Amino acid sequence: MPEKILYEYAVIRYVPKVEREEFINVGIVLYAKQHNSIHLHYHVDQARIEAFSPEADIEALNAHLESFKHIAAGDKTCGLIAQMDTASRFRWLTAVRSSVIQTSRPHPGFSTNLEATAQKLFEEVVL
């Protein structure tokens, strides 16, 4: 019987006008303490985002999401946050913030294949 792994995930959202609280899901971040790992997937659908928010700065959005990706991966060249332990990086990525990139509250689940679960969640909530 495959091992069931407890994980937490949050949806990454693009919020062009924070005061309106409207958003588009652009990614997923999944953390498993047991495996000391973070999986992060994102996709910027430029046409969809520009239809939702014509003034969107797609280049800046991509840059912010790339930063999230490097922090999730623990890329030590990306500053102090990326140098934190895995759990602290996940908590930082999912902290409540009032900015154009936000995450949902973390949700728990069980998986026997973390990467497949992250991909499935990404497809369900983003694509």
Q: Are 68 and 27 in contact (CB under 8 A)?
A: yes
pTM for this entry: 0.94
Q: Are 71 and 89 in contact (CB under 8 A)?
A: yes
What's the number of CA atoms in the CB half-sphere (13 Å) around residue 111?
A: 21
pLDDT digits (tens, 9 = 90+) for 28-56: 999 999 999 999 999 999 999 999 999 99
Q: Are 28 and 11 in contact (CB under 8 A)?
A: yes
What's the number of CA atoms in the CB half-sphere (13 Å) around residue 28?
A: 22
pLDDT digits (tens, 9 = 90+) for 57-87: 999 999 999 999 999 999 999 999 999 999 9
pLDDT of the residue at 2: 82
Rounded to 5°, angle at Cα 87 from 90 and 92:
35
Q: How many CB atoms lie within 10 A of CB 98?
A: 8
Residue in this structure with the two tokens 């992060």, named with its chain if needed = 40
Kindly give, in sequence order, each residue whose CB lies less than 8 Å from that of residue 14, ignoring residues fewer than 6 positions away.
Answer: 23, 24, 25, 26, 44, 49, 56, 61, 100, 101
